[in-house]
A = this chain, B = another copy of it.
Amino acid sequence: MLPAEDQPATTRRRDAAATRQLLLDAARRRFARNGYAATTVREIADQAGVNVALISRYFVSKEGLFEACLMGAADELDRVVQKDYSIDAVAASMARHLAGPSADWQAQQVLMLLRSSGDEQADRIRHAKLRFLAERMATAGGWYPGHPEEETLLLRAQVALAAALGLAILRTSAVLEPLASADQEALTEPLRAVMGALLTPQA
């Protein structure tokens, strides 16, 4: 239960920022995999090796902890699709975040976009980030505000985003093989096919 405690005589315990981070990591893992309602604060605290009461102390409430996880994920996900990405670059980035090195950690951030606590503010953050990601992906396909086919391009980008999100779920929640254990390389090709088919500007 206790995390690696290999600092013999120095710090490690009694460090507010460190335990806060332990709680965030444990909570994100649980929230991403099992959802908000199915996750108990005692589970989180145990996994973090920390007392339950510290959740209320550092994050006010379970919802506060969830929101903190979501905001952290939202910040991190800005890096998934850069402004100047090509369509292939979008596909490559998706594959890297879903199956690359440190994929567990990255996939958790992605899954947070699909978890809801019922809290309005958290839902707003989630919704805004999904919308942002879709627009970034649409941009790779020539979309811009005021484009003559603005809505169609955005719709197609949202379908592409849906594919990536559904992929994250099928790999973790359900464990569909061979998808679940497909590595980054194996995932890049079909993702490139999807992104190309959906985002490539029509003739």
Contact = CB atoms under 8 A, between A and B. Distances in A.
A21 B28 CA distance: 37
A36 to B, nearest CB: 7
A16 interface: no
> Which secondary structure characterizes the binding site on chain A?
helix
A126 interface: yes
A159 interface: yes
Given A156-B190, A194-B198, 17 more contacts: A113-B174, A114-B169, A114-B173, A126-B174, A130-B170, A134-B176, A155-B178, A155-B179, A158-B170, A159-B191, A159-B194, A161-B170, A162-B170, A166-B167, A190-B198, A196-B197, A197-B198
Interface of A: 34-38, 113-114, 116, 118, 126-127, 130-131, 134, 151, 154-156, 158-159, 161-167, 169-170, 173-176, 178-179, 182, 186, 190-191, 193-194, 196-198
